[in-house]
Structure 1
Amino acid sequence: MTLVKVVIPARFNSSRLPGKPLLEINGKPILWHVYQRCIEAGFSREDVVLATDDSRIFAKAEELNLSVVMTSSAHESGTDRINEVASLKRWHSDDLVINVQGDEPLIPVKLIKDLVKFALERPCFSMFTAVTHLHSLDSFHNSNVVKAIVGEQNQALYFTRAAAPLSRDNITCLELAYRHIGIYGYTVSALKKFCSYKEAPLEVYEKLEQLRALSHGMSIGVCHYLGELPHGVDTPEDYELIKEIMESKT
């Protein structure tokens, strides 16, 4: 039986907003709100783990009675941090690990549930992620919006910051345009394999970690998410906006 775990990577040293996992909304830090979204998605506290390399985040998580693991400070990415957690916890190679970003206090519960359901139904893939339709030409041409090119069997063909795929006959057509959503799932064995690879040239070129997997022949299944997609907390302005939204609901 495949078990499903959630790991929330939370680091202190964000370049644009240092310490953001500890910033408070409604009297609780952002990391607590992300953890709650995972609980609301149906996971037990034993199956949701915060992963950090910072003693302040670790102490706050323990204070709030959240499952937390202290990981190495040498990791270059959240994926490496998650792989260490899976190793320390001795999770089975076939277990499914969901990577939920630690700066998304409004991540939709439905998105987490949809990705888990999609992954469990498609063991043919090594990794899993999500996309949503793009409806704005501004977003389509914005290099900060990552586009996913998806094949016939829900497999990822490529991810890019460029405007793609581009219709030759109608350059304003967005019928096949998808925005990548930064949530991932992996089997423990695929996670270990991914982290054993060095950075791929395309990954370095586009600054997209998922291109490492595709460059080495790993398959990525793509879940199509239908629903609103709130922004994460990347900047002080994001924090103030999301704080206002969440506090207005209480």
Structure 2
Amino acid sequence: MVQHVYERACESCAERVIVATDDMRVAEAVQGFGGKVCMTSAEHASGTDRLQEVAVNLGLADDRILVNVQGDEPLIPARVIDQVASNLAQNTLTGVATLAEPILTLDDFRNPNIVKVVVSESGLARYFSRAPIPWPRDAFALDDGNLPMDLEPRRHIGIYAYRVALLQSFVSWPMAPLEKFEALEQLRFLYHDENIHVADACAEVPGGVDTEQDLQRMRKLIG
């Protein structure tokens, strides 16, 4: 799976692609297919913490942009990786950018493994949750198996672009209460009043692999 993600990232406009891991088995697998690896501490609470260590190891300047592609997204399109980096480059008042796409089914809306995001008119994240949000109090009978017609929930796609300077701040902050509660690292940024830019992905992104069912679905898609 990691090889598929690595190959998609290499198809993007990234200057270089590196797999960050604390597991020698992953490192050996990546080296086996010719990929580049950065070994990191096993003590990181999140992928964002891990990425900050990579930035330090590489000696990257504060204004450099890094894109974090999670290792469980083997079919993420390269142009989506380029999109999130470009979005951050064009939004100088934010230090983080990410992507979303519409949720189309009630099952997905209620699935805690599918993270939902609520976005302001200006394209800034207001909240991320594993719960079904926004919740239409009066319209949601939940008795016909369909989403209400006027509800437009968004699935958060697990890809981020960061400026290195904000990564340095991130690791200095303790875990936020809601971050612990929801197990969502991006809530640490919101808790500390940092804006996260959110846009709809320019291409469909098949969901990541969180369960055995997801793995079987992905194997069928990959063939």
Q: How does 1:200-239 map to 2 (within 5 A)?
A: 200-239=176-215
1:135 to 77, 80, 104: 104
Give the whole-Å Cα distance in 2 for the aligned partners of 1:63 and 1:34.
Answer: 15
CA contact (8 A) 2:67 2:161 kept: yes
Task: Report deviation, 1:204.
Answer: 1.6
Q: Secondary structure at the match of 1:208?
A: coil
Task: Report deviation, 1:223.
Answer: 1.6
Evaluate the alpha carbon distance shift between residue 161 and residue 56 of structure 1 in structure 2; reply closer, same or farther with a 3 A threshold: closer
Q: Secondary structure at the match of 1:48?
A: coil
Task: Report deviation, 1:183.
Answer: 0.8
Q: Which moved more, 1:72-81 or 1:140-149?
A: 140-149
Whether 1:52 aligns to 2:21 is yes
1:141-197 Cα offsets, whole Å, 9 max, x none, are 333322111001100011122222233553324544211111111100111111211
Instruction: Point out 4+ residue stretches in structure 1 off by more than 6 angstroms.
Output: none
Amino acid at match of 1:106: L
CA contact (8 A) 1:34 1:104 kept: yes
CA contact (8 A) 1:114 1:223 kept: no
Amino acid at match of 1:225: A
1:153 is matched with 122
Whether 1:33 aligns to 2:9 is no
Give the whole-Å Cα distance in 2 for the aligned partners of 1:210 and 1:75.
Answer: 15
2:161 to 168, 181, 185: 185
Amino acid at match of 2:29: K
Whether 1:97 aligns to 2:66 is yes
Task: Report deviation, 1:103.
Answer: 1.8
1:63 to 32, 39, 50: 32
1:191-248 Cα offsets, whole Å, 9 max, x none, are 111121111111122222111110111110002114322132333443333223223x
Give the whole-Å Cα distance in 1 for the aligned partners of 2:45 and 2:54.
Answer: 15
Whether 1:76 aligns to 2:52 is no
Q: Cα RMSD (Å) of the superposition?
A: 1.8
% identity of equivalent residues: 40
Amino acid at match of 2:11: E
Q: Secondary structure at the match of 1:189?
A: helix
* Structure 1: gaps spanning 5 or more residues: 1-29
Q: Secondary structure at the match of 2:18?
A: strand
Task: Report deviation, 1:135.
Answer: 2.2
Evaluate the alpha carbon distance shift between residue 143 and residue 104 of structure 1 in structure 2; reply closer, same or farther with a 3 A threshold: closer
Give the whole-Å Cα distance in 1 for the aligned partners of 2:198 and 2:208.
Answer: 21
Evaluate the alpha carbon distance shift between residue 184 and residue 170 of structure 1 in structure 2; reply closer, same or farther with a 3 A threshold: same
TM-score by length of 1: 0.80
CA contact (8 A) 2:79 2:202 kept: no
* Structure 2: gaps spanning 5 or more residues: 141-147
